Structure 1
Amino acid sequence: MTQNMMAKSKAKKTTILEMNRFDPSHLDELDEHKRSLIRRREILGKGYRLFYSDPIEVVRGKGSHVFDEHGVDYLDAYNNVVSVGHCHPHVVEAIARQAATLNTHTRYLHETILDYSEALLAKMPPEIDRITYQCTGSEANDLAIRIARNYTGGRGIIVTNEAYHGNTDLVSSFSPSIGEGQALSLEAGILPTPDTHAVGEDQIADYMVDAFHKEVARMRRHGIKFAGLLVDSIFSSDGIFPGKAGWLKKLADAVHEEGGLYIADEVQPGFCRTGEAFWGFARHGIVPDIVTMGKPMANGIACSATAVKHEILDAFNDRIPYFNTFAGNPVAMAAAKATLEVMDVEDIQGNALRVGNLFKERLRELAQSHPAIADIRGAGLYIGVEFDDPETGEPMSAQVLELIEQMRERLVLTSNCGSYGNIIKIRPPLVFNEADVNRYIEALQGSLEAIGL
């Protein structure tokens, strides 16, 4: 076990919804307008979370920027939902035109859903030739688990140590990052985080495959038949571990050897995010059995999908028909189609690759004078910057929270992730440009100096 792994094993863990959250006990420190808005939010219940010790009211967005009620311009380095930028005019026009014409469900014939489905499946491996629509990534993953269980006859679903796959009753039980308050399914198998920083990029494939076979064997001893592996190929909640392109193929092959299905959760790495391929799984040379997707596909309109090999979906639909009232509605399909058109016409994937590479280069330059930056990793415009104590290897969780607050003071929005919250998560709209990178680096450098890192 490396020093870094030993230090992490002793550190206190956190959960995805507790990171970078506003503490209501500090309400009196805010101005009256914000106090009023936060008090009114009580009607939403205690489950809702705000970012930052001084929450931001955003009233407008454009490209990679959002603006508060005073017109202050914040650089948005966090929002992956508006993948082609806030309020992209081509997408906005498509939404408005369709909303003014018709919006209904999928039990009538309508051409837009077919046009979009054909265009989207053309970006998939040919083996994946069917698609069904939902409204959220949670719903897509929920359906994927049901389909995998039906096809394999198994029940066991394996995920990684800090995975987040959604918040339905079924999927939340396979989402360890929600925290101890959410019970995991007794049919859940857990793999370690594919921590390339601690284990090494060249060793990670064998490390994960070995852990996988052991977990399948453990499930088998408990009478649980393995059904599928559900993974986000950039392991975003675990701490952003894309690894070298291709390493994940070994794990996918092991899944099929054990008789299960490979479910690629593309909510985070899909739709050009990695720059190296349109899909996160594609940079590893994998042909999944099921692909789930959501957030970025319609640039802010609720839309998700589950794409499946036809024989697997047919086996499910022969027993269970599927219908979702709002899923695949004409407005959502118009938004998704327009988003895909922007991705193609404006070379969004190429931009993610070019700007992402520049971003990592600038971060590495900064790391030379800031030893607390222990690792910089990412693919395209999904980048993680890990902060560990240079002497002990202990995760610098509190310092990263302070850094995020300092960045907010410098009008740059970013967040954190990982088991200990010691990793800055950079996940901007895919229209991020060189000027945005320069602004981010300047704010990060100033923030590091402000807290003595």
Structure 2
Amino acid sequence: MTIVDMSSVNAFIPGRAELTAHQASMIEQRDRLLGPAYRLMYQKPLHFVRGEGVWLYDPDGRRYLDTYNNVVSLGHCHPDVVEAITKQVATLCTNTRYLHETILELADGLLSTVSGDLSHMMLTCSGSEANDLAYRIAKVRTGGTGIIITETAYHGITDTVSQFSPTLGEAVPLGAHVRTVKAPAAYRSGPNVADRFRRDVEAAIADLKRHGIKPAMLIVDSIFTSDGILPEEPGFLKGAVEAIRDAGGIFVADEVQPGFGRTGNHMWGFQRHGVDPDIVTLGKPMGNGQPIAGLLTRHDVVEKFGRSSRYFNTFAGNTVSCAAAVAVLQVIRRDKIMDNAREVGAYLLEKVSALRSRHECMGHVRGAGLFVAADINAEKAMQISSGALTASVVNAMRDDGVLISACGEDHNILKIRPPLIFTRDNVDHFVEVLDKALEASTR
């Protein structure tokens, strides 16, 4: 029997949509062969057979505009990345215990995008593994175990990291060593975000200490994606970073979603705030879909861990994935991807914001580069929750050939996160479909 996931705004719920015989058969096989833990997206699940650029194609050749999947940061099947993977896999695929130039080229390229104090790269297979490794390093570095996160954060799915990923839901309990603070949302709570966030972090530190727990790290997604995408007031992280360091902990910037130029003006989201993290964690966008992720850190942060624990991960840093990541960096620089994220992102923000004059349910709209959020607020007279209305919009857009999702504690924030090669024409198409979905969902 298919498990129902009521916590996700765009989850497949059996019986809600008519399925073809082939779709029903595939779902039955998934349940039988993959077990009960997997989930499908959208009320009517999608079956894709091909991807190209910003488009995904179903078996009938219908194309869908992908404005959600940030893993393929440069778009589906980018030719430069495909060529790099193909060439390398036909030559050599091996691990980091052998000398090879590609991992060194990748490390040099990544470290050139950050301050000189961040001098070491360590590779993993996923962002979850990267955050798990960051916590291991933090514990050795500080002697503490306490973690501070935001209320609706998502940092990964390993046993350790799931304990500080509250967005996974109540069925995945937070660790006793974890404290949450409110995400810094100026449009909800008013000005002085920086002061408020610092005070909240200081209160969390005090509570950890009161319970005999030494702080190890403050970790945030630097654009607060799962909390609702909160790019406003660059610089507000400085006070909180000072607070955790004063308490003997370190600051970890989770760049899995805001990194690789997505915010437009900077390669990394934390650079918008003028802070220097102790560790920066990276995710699969660095390989455009290849399973490669990792972290950047300072020598003094990782030195003791390196002496006492060592680190090896058979697949992480393999030559094929490294070749893909090198190609991604080269394309970002050669094709001025950050400029595109900034310019097309500004156009996207303008066009989405303009819909507020046409639809009363559209609340606050905000963004940085090609990362835009729009609150959906149901009117009391509609007899529907904001989350349910958002689900209606998301699924109406899916039916009209545009893929999107949602985030936030109440699942009522449209999460607009297209590939970094998005164009103005793509924006116009997206906004046209969003406009229609909002109209249809509020009739």
Amino acid at match of 2:358: S
Q: Measure the CA separation in 1 of the matches of 2:173 and 2:379.
A: 35
Pick from 386, 391, 395 the counterpart of residue 401 of structure 1: 391
Report the CA distance between 1:26 and its aligned residue. Answer: 4.2
**Which of 96-105 and 239-248 deviates more?**
239-248
Over the residues paired in the alignment, what is the CA RMSD in angstroms? 1.7
Pick from 232, 244, 252 the counterpart of residue 221 of structure 2: 232
The SS at the match of 2:49 is strand
Q: Measure the CA separation in 2 of the matches of 1:84 and 1:17.
A: 30
Report the CA distance between 1:197 and its aligned residue. Answer: 2.2
Aligned to 1:149: 139
The SS at the match of 1:58 is coil
Aligned to 2:408: 418
Q: Measure the CA separation in 2 of the matches of 1:371 and 1:256.
A: 44
1:221 aligns with 2:214: no
The SS at the match of 1:114 is helix
Q: Which runs of 5+ in 1 are unaligned?
A: 1-14
Matches within 5 A, 1:180-219: 180-200=170-190, 202-219=191-208
Matches within 5 A, 1:236-247: 236-247=225-236
The alignment-based identity, stated in percent, is 46
Aligned to 2:38: 48
Q: Measure the CA separation in 2 of the matches of 1:16 and 1:133.
A: 35
1:293 aligns with 2:277: no
The SS at the match of 2:123 is strand
Report the CA distance between 1:17 and its aligned residue. Answer: 6.0
Q: Measure the CA separation in 2 of the matches of 1:199 and 1:63.
A: 39
Matches within 5 A, 1:94-173: 94-173=84-163
Aligned to 1:305: 294
Aligned to 1:63: 53
The SS at the match of 2:157 is coil
Aligned to 1:269: 258
Q: Measure the CA separation in 1 of the matches of 2:14 and 2:35.
A: 13
How many residues align structurally? 438
Q: Measure the CA separation in 2 of the matches of 1:21 and 1:452.
A: 20
1:315 aligns with 2:304: yes
Runs of 4+ in structure 1 deviating by more than 3 angstroms, as ranges, are: 389-392
Aligned to 2:318: 329
Q: Measure the CA separation in 2 of the matches of 1:19 and 1:178.
A: 13
The SS at the match of 2:198 is helix
Aligned to 1:386: 375
Report the CA distance between 1:250 and its aligned residue. Answer: 2.3
Q: Which runs of 5+ in 2 are unaligned?
A: none
Amino acid at match of 2:187: H
The SS at the match of 2:364 is strand
The SS at the match of 2:179 is strand
Q: Measure the CA separation in 1 of the matches of 2:290 and 2:7.
A: 22
1:77 aligns with 2:77: no
Pick from 24, 28, 39 the counterpart of residue 39 of structure 1: 28
Amino acid at match of 2:222: S
Indicate how the Cα distance of structure 1 residues 246 and 416 shifts in structure 2: closer, same or farther if over 3 A, else same.
Answer: same
Report the CA distance between 1:16 and its aligned residue. Answer: 9.7
* Cα offsets for 1:70-98 (capped at 9, x unmatched): 11011000010000111110000000000
Report the CA distance between 1:390 and its aligned residue. Answer: 5.6
Q: TM-score, length-normalised on structure 1?
A: 0.94
Report the CA distance between 1:395 and its aligned residue. Answer: 6.3
Q: Measure the CA separation in 2 of the matches of 1:409 and 1:390.
A: 24
Aligned to 1:91: 81
Instruction: Answer whether contact 2:85 2:320 (CA < 8 A) is retained.
Output: yes
Instruction: Answer whether contact 2:68 2:404 (CA < 8 A) is retained.
Output: yes
Q: Measure the CA separation in 2 of the matches of 1:395 and 1:314.
A: 51
Report the CA distance between 1:18 and its aligned residue. Answer: 2.3
Aligned to 2:424: 434
Report the CA distance between 1:276 and its aligned residue. Answer: 1.7
